[in-house]
C-alpha cells in the first residue's frame, strides 16, 4: 500500500519500518499456520487476528494520510476486507491480506524512492570569504559583510564573491553561470558576476551588489524554487481508485444483498484487493531502473522513469551536452614554412607545466598526434599575456596576439583572426626564438554521437527538440542546424532558461538535458531533468532526476526506450492481474470462493502479475550498438589512423591559402599531394574494405554505407585530378592555373571535412 503516506518516526527510515512490518506479519502468519497444523486452532486464530489488526492499523494510517492530502486511494478496499475478515471470523484471510499489504509497502518504498535533490554541490562552491581593500591593506571578511561600493581583490583561481565592476582587465571562467567553456576576457570597467572564476591575473573590482542579491545566490534560489514546485509521485493504483473503489463496493454490496450472506461480500473484497497494481507495477519499474543502470543511466526512482517515458519535448543545453564542453584545437596556422607538428610539439612541451584549460587542449592535441614531448625549463608565466620557457634549446612563447605579433600583423595572422571571429574560436599565438611562428585555433567541438542520438530520440517518441544556451546566437544556430533541433534559444541566463522550460512544460511533458551549475534550475523545473555527470558530481547531477554516468549522451535514448518498455509492461502486468481479479470477484460474488480461498487465489494472481513484470529484465530494444570483439578491434585501429590523418585536412586548406599569385609555394603543394596519395588514399581504401562492412553489420537497414562509399570515391577522384592538374602546370604557373589549383584544394578540403564528420557520427561514435 501507499506506505509513504504514513510518516515514520524520527530516526527510523520508511524502508526500515516497512521491512520490519512485513517481517513481523510474515513470521506471525507462519506461526499461526504451525499452530493450525498442530491442531491448536484457537492459538492459530489468535495469531492471525493479531496480524489482521496490525494490517488494519497500518491501512488506517495510510487512508488518514491520503484524506489529509486529498488524494484518492484504493487502501479503503483492503481496510474493508480486513474488517470484514474479522467480522465473519476468517482470520487466515485477514492475515494473508495483511502480508500482501506489507509486501506492497516494501516493494513500493524501494521502487518510488528517489534521491534527494540536495544543494550540496552548489552550497560547497558558494563563495564565503571576500578580500576587501582599505587604507590599512587587504583583509578577509565574510562574504555576507560585503557592501555596495567596497573595493575587492580577486586572486587567480578564486571565485568572484559578489557582482561587481572590474577595475583591471583579466579573464574569467564563466561556465558556472553561462555554460560557455571558453575563458572570457573582461576589460576594466566591465561587469562581472559572482560565481565565476578568475582565470587570469589577480584583479581588483568594485562591488555593485551585496551577496544576497548577487547572481550566484540567485541561481541557488532558482533551484530551490524549482524543486519546491515539483509535483509528488502518485501511485499507479491511486489513478484507478476513483473508479475501482465504487465498483468493488457495488459488487460486494450486490453479492450480500442477493444472497443474504456477508461472507460473500468479504470474499469479493478480499479478491478485489488491487495487489497487482501495488506489486506488479513497482516491480516492473524497479526492473527498469536496474536495466537502465547497466547502460550507464541512473534514474532516481520510479516517478522519474514514468515521467521519462511520458516526455514529448526535449530541451538541451549546448556546452558539455551537445558539445564536448572543453576546447580542442581545430586548426594550426603557421607562419611561412614553419612545420605545424614541430610547433605543436614545442608548444605542448611548454604547456605541460600549466593548468590552464587551453594548455590542456594543446597538450592533448600533441599526444593525439603521437608527438614526443620534451621537458621545459625556465618557465615563467606573464600574467595576462601568456607563458614563456625553453624547450630543446628553443625559447618558446605562447599567449595573446599583442605579446607575440609584430605591428602591423602579418597576413597569416590576420587570416587566422578573421577565421576565429567567424567560427567563434579562441586563439593562442606562438613564437619560437623571438620569431612569430603560428597560431592555434581552439573550438568546443560537437559531440559526434549527438545527431544520431537526436534521431534515435525522435524514434523513441520525442516530438520536439529545443536548444537553450548562454552562448552566442550564431554558434548556437549552427549547432542547432547540425543536430536537427526544432528551436534554438541563445544568450540565455539561468533565469531565462528556467522560464523557457516552464513555458514548454505547460504545453507538453518535458525532458531537460544539461551539464553544469547554470543548468540546475532548469533541470529541477522540467518534468525530468537529465544531467551528464561523467566528469564528476555537479550541481546539475544533484538537481536532476536522471544522471548519465558515461561521457556519452546516446545513453539517454536507451533510457527512454527502457522507460517506455517498463511502463508498458507495468501497465500490462497490472491490467492482466486486475482482469483476473475481476473474474475472481465474480466467482466470489456467486459463492464459489470463500474469503480464505480467495486470499490464496489472489496471491496466485499476484505471482503471475509479478512474473509478467519481471520480463522487463529481459533484453529489449535499445539504441546502443554492441560490436563484436573483432569488429571493435578493427574499428579502433582505423580510428587511430583517422585521428593521425586529421591534421592533413587542415594542411590542404593552408596549402591552398599559400598559393598566392605573386609567389606560389609549388613545392609545398607537391609534398601535400605525395602525402595524400601515400597516406590518405590507402586509409580510405582500408575503410572501404574493412570499416564499411562493420557499419553495415552494426546499423543494418537499407544501404547504411552508400554515402561513405560515394565520398571515398569522390576524395580519390579529386586527389587524382589535382595531381594531373599539378603535373600539367609548368614551373611558372599562370594565374588561371593557380585559381584552378586553389579551387580544387578548397573543394577537397570541404569534402574531407564533411566525410570525417560523417564517419565520426555514424561509424566511430559506435566505439
CA distance 574 to 600: 18
DSSP strand pairing (376-382 vs 386-391): antiparallel
597 burial via Cβ count (<10 Å: 0-12, 13-18, 19+): middle
CATH number of the domain encompassing residue 746: 1.20.120
Residues 458 and 392 in one domain: no
CA distance 132 to 151: 6
CATH number of the domain encompassing residue 428: 3.40.1110.10
Residue 573 lies in a domain: yes
DSSP 199: -
Residues 187 and 63 in one domain: no
Cβ atoms of 311 and 462 within 8 Å: the answer is yes
Residue 199 lies in a domain: yes
Specify the range with the lowest mean pLDDT, choosing from 170-174, 190-194, 223-227, 449-453: 223-227
Pick the closest to residue 153 from 134, 132, 137 (CA basis): 132
Give the pLDDT confidence of 246-278 residue by residue, as tens digits: 888 888 888 888 888 888 888 888 888 666 666
Q: What is the pLDDT of residue 176?
A: 63
CA distance 683 to 55: 72
Residues 197 and 311 in one domain: no
Q: CA dihedral defined by 284, 286, 292, 298, rounded to 10 degrees?
A: 150
Residue 226 lies in a domain: no
Residues 413 and 275 in one domain: no
Distances (CA, A) of 147 to 127, 144, 208, 630: 15, 8, 8, 65
Distances (CA, A) of 275 to 1, 105, 174, 503, 577: 8, 11, 52, 38, 8
Q: What is the total count of domains within the chain?
A: 5
Q: Is the pLDDT of residue 338 over 90?
A: no
Cβ atoms of 52 and 80 within 8 Å: the answer is no
Sheet holding 426-432, edge to edge: 328-334, 435-443, 426-432, 394-399, 386-391, 376-382
Q: Please say which residue of 443, 478, 499 terminates a domain.
A: 443
The catalytic residue positions are 317
Residues 106 and 131 in one domain: no
Mean pLDDT of the 339-368 span: 84
Residues 67 and 138 in one domain: no
Give the pLDDT confidence of 731-744 residue by residue, as tens digits: 677 888 888 888 99
Would you call 12 helix, strand, or coil by DSSP?
coil
Residues 424 and 457 in one domain: no
Backbone angles phi, psi at 437, to 5 degrees: -115, -30
Q: What is the pLDDT of residue 370?
A: 80
Residue 727 lies in a domain: yes
Give the pLDDT confidence of 174-213 residue by residue, as tens digits: 766 655 566 777 877 777 888 888 888 888 898 988 888 8
Q: Please say which residue of 515, 549, 583 terminates a domain.
A: 549
Cβ atoms of 321 and 479 within 8 Å: the answer is no
CATH number of the domain encompassing residue 214: 2.70.150.10
Q: What's the maximum distance between 2 C-alpha atoms anywhere in the chain?
A: 116
Residue 556 lies in a domain: no
Residues 653 and 759 in one domain: yes
Alpha helices in 445-554 (DSSP H): 450-459, 473-483, 494-507, 520-525, 539-543
Q: Read off the C-alpha cell for 556.
A: 539517454
Residues 73 and 104 in one domain: yes
Residues 242 and 256 in one domain: yes
Residue 559 lies in a domain: no
> Which structural domain, as residue segments, surrounds residue 172?
122-221
Q: Is the pTM of this model over 0.75?
A: no
Residue 622 lies in a domain: no
Q: What is the pLDDT of residue 220?
A: 63
Residues 527 and 661 in one domain: no
Residues 212 and 275 in one domain: no
| Region of residue 8 (left: phi > 0; alpha: psi -120 to 50; beta: else) | beta
Q: Give the residues across from 133 on adjacent strands.
A: 138, 151
Question: Which helix (DSSP H) or strand (DSSP E) does residue 288 occupy?
Answer: helix 281-294
Mean per-residue pLDDT over the chain, rounded: 80
The separation between the first and the last C-alpha atoms of the chain, rounded to the nearest angstrom, is 45
113 band by pLDDT with thresholds 50, 70 and 90: very low
Give the pLDDT confidence of 380-434 residue by residue, as tens digits: 888 778 889 999 999 999 988 888 888 888 888 888 888 888 887 889 999 999 8
Q: What is the pLDDT of residue 629?
A: 77
Cβ atoms of 744 and 721 within 8 Å: the answer is yes
Q: CA dihedral defined by 219, 221, 226, 232, rounded to 10 degrees?
A: 140
Residue 420 lies in a domain: yes
Amino acid at each position: 500500500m501507499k506506505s509513504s503516506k504514513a510518516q515514520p518516526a524520527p530516526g527510523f527510515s520508511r524502508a526500515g519500518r516497512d521491512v520490519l512490518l512485513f517481517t513481523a506479519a510474515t513470521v506471525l502468519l507462519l506461526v499461526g499456520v504451525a499452530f493450525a497444523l498442530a491442531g491448536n486452532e484457537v492459538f492459530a486464530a489468535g495469531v492471525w487476528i493479531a496480524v489482521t489488526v496490525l494490517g488494519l492499523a497500518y491501512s488506517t494510517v495510510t487512508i488518514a494520510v491520503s484524506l489529509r492530502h486529498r488524494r484518492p486511494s484504493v487502501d479503503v478496499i483492503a481496510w474493508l476486507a480486513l474488517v470484514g475478515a474479522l467480522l465473519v471470523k476468517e482470520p487466515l484471510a485477514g492475515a494473508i491480506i495483511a502480508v500482501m499489504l506489507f509486501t506492497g509497502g516494501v516493494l513500493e518504498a524501494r521502487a518510488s524512492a528517489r534521491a534527494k535533490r540536495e544543494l550540496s554541490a552548489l552550497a560547497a562552491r558558494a563563495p564565503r570569504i571576500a578580500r576587501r581593500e582599505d587604507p590599512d591593506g587587504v583583509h578577509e571578511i565574510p562574504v555576507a559583510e560585503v557592501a555596495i561600493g567596497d573595493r575587492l581583490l580577486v586572486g587567480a583561481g578564486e571565485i568572484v564573491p559578489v557582482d561587481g565592476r572590474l577595475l583591471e582587465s583579466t579573464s574569467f571562467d564563466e561556465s558556472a553561470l553561462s555554460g560557455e567553456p571558453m575563458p572570457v576576457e573582461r576589460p576594466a570597467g566591465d561587469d562581472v558576476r559572482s560565481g565565476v572564476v578568475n582565470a587570469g591575473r589577480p584583479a581588483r573590482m568594485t562591488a555593485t551588489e551585496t551577496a544576497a542579491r548577487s547572481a550566484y545566490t540567485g541561481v541557488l534560489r532558482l533551484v530551490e524554487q524549482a524543486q519546491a514546485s515539483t509535483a509528488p509521485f502518485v501511485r499507479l493504483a491511486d489513478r484507478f481508485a476513483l473508479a475501482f473503489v465504487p465498483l468493488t463496493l457495488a459488487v460486494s454490496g450486490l453479492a450480500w444483498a442477493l444472497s443474504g450472506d456477508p461472507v460473500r461480500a468479504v470474499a469479493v473484497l478480499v479478491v478485489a484487493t488491487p495487489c497487482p497494481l501495488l506489486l506488479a507495477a513497482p516491480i516492473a519499474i524497479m526492473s527498469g531502473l536496474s536495466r537502465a543502470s547497466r547502460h550507464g543511466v541512473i534514474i532516481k526512482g520510479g516517478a522519474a522513469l514514468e515521467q521519462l517515458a511520458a516526455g514529448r519535448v526535449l530541451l538541451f543545453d549546448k556546452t558539455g551536452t551537445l558539445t564536448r564542453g572543453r576546447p580542442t584545437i581545430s586548426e594550426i596556422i603557421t607562419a611561412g614554412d614553419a612545420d605545424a607538428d614541430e610547433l605543436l610539439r614545442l608548444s605542448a612541451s611548454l604547456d605541460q607545466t600549466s593548468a590552464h584549460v587551453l594548455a590542456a587542449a594543446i597538450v592533448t592535441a600533441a599526444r593525439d598526434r603521437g608527438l614526443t614531448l620534451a621537458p621545459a625549463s625556465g618557465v615563467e608565466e606573464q600574467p595576462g599575456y601568456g607563458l614563456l620557457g625553453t624547450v630543446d634549446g628553443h625559447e618558446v612563447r605562447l599567449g595573446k596576439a599583442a605579446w607575440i605579433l609584430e605591428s602591423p600583423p602579418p597576413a597569416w595572422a590576420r587570416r587566422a583572426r578573421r577565421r576565429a571571429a567567424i567560427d567563434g574560436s579562441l586563439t593562442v599565438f606562438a613564437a619560437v626564438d623571438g620569431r612569430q611562428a603560428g597560431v592555434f585555433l581552439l573550438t568546443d567541438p560537437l559531440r559526434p554521437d549527438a545527431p544520431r542520438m537526436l534521431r534515435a530520440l525522435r524514434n523513441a517518441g520525442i516530438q520536439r527538440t529545443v536548444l537553450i544556451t548562454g552562448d552566442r546566437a550564431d554558434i548556437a544556430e549552427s549547432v542547432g542546424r547540425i543536430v536537427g533541433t526544432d528551436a534554438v534559444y541563445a544568450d540565455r541566463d539561468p533565469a531565462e532558461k528556467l522560464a523557457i522550460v516552464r513555458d514548454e512544460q505547460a504545453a507538453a511533458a518535458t525532458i531537460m538535458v544539461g551539464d553544469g551549475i547554470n543548468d540546475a534550475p532548469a533541470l529541477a523545473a522540467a518534468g525530468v531533468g537529465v544531467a551528464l555527470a561523467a566528469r564528476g558530481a555537479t550541481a546539475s547531477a544533484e538537481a536532476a532526476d536522471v544522471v548519465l554516468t558515461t561521457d556519452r549522451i546516446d545513453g539517454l535514448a536507451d533510457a527512454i526506450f527502457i522507460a517506455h518498455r517498463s511502463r508498458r509492461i507495468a501497465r500490462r502486468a497490472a491490467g492482466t492481474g486486475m482482469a483476473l481479479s475481476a473474474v475472481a470477484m465474480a466467482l466470489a460474488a456467486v459463492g464459489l470462493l470463500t474469503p480464505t480461498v480467495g486470499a490464496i487465489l489472489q496471491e496466485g494472481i499476484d505471482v503471475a502479475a509479478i512474473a509478467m513484470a519481471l520480463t522487463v529484465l529481459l533484453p529489449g530494444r535499445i539504441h546502443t550498438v554492441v560490436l563484436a570483439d573483432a569488429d571493435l578491434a578493427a574499428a579502433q585501429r582505423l580510428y587511430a589512423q583517422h585521428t593521425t590523418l586529421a591534421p592533413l585536412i587542415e594542411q590542404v586548406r593552408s596549402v591552398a591559402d599559400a598559393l598566392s599569385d605573386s609567389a606560389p609555394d609549388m613545392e609545398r603543394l607537391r609534398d601535400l599531394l605525395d602525402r595524400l596519395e601515400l597516406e590518405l588514399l590507402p586509409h580510405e581504401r582500408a575503410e572501404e574494405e574493412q570499416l564499411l562492412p562493420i557499419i553495415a553489420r552494426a546499423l543494418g537497414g537499407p544501404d547504411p554505407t552508400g554515402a561513405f562509399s560515394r565520398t571515398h570515391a569522390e576524395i580519390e577522384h579529386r586527389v587524382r585530378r589535382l595531381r594531373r592538374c599539378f603535373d600539367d602546370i609548368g614551373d611558372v604557373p599562370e594565374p588561371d592555373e593557380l585559381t584552378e589549383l586553389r579551387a580544387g584544394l578548397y573543394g577537397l578540403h570541404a569534402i574531407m571535412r564533411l566525410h570525417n564528420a560523417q564517419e565520426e557520427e555514424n561509424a566511430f561514435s559506435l566505439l
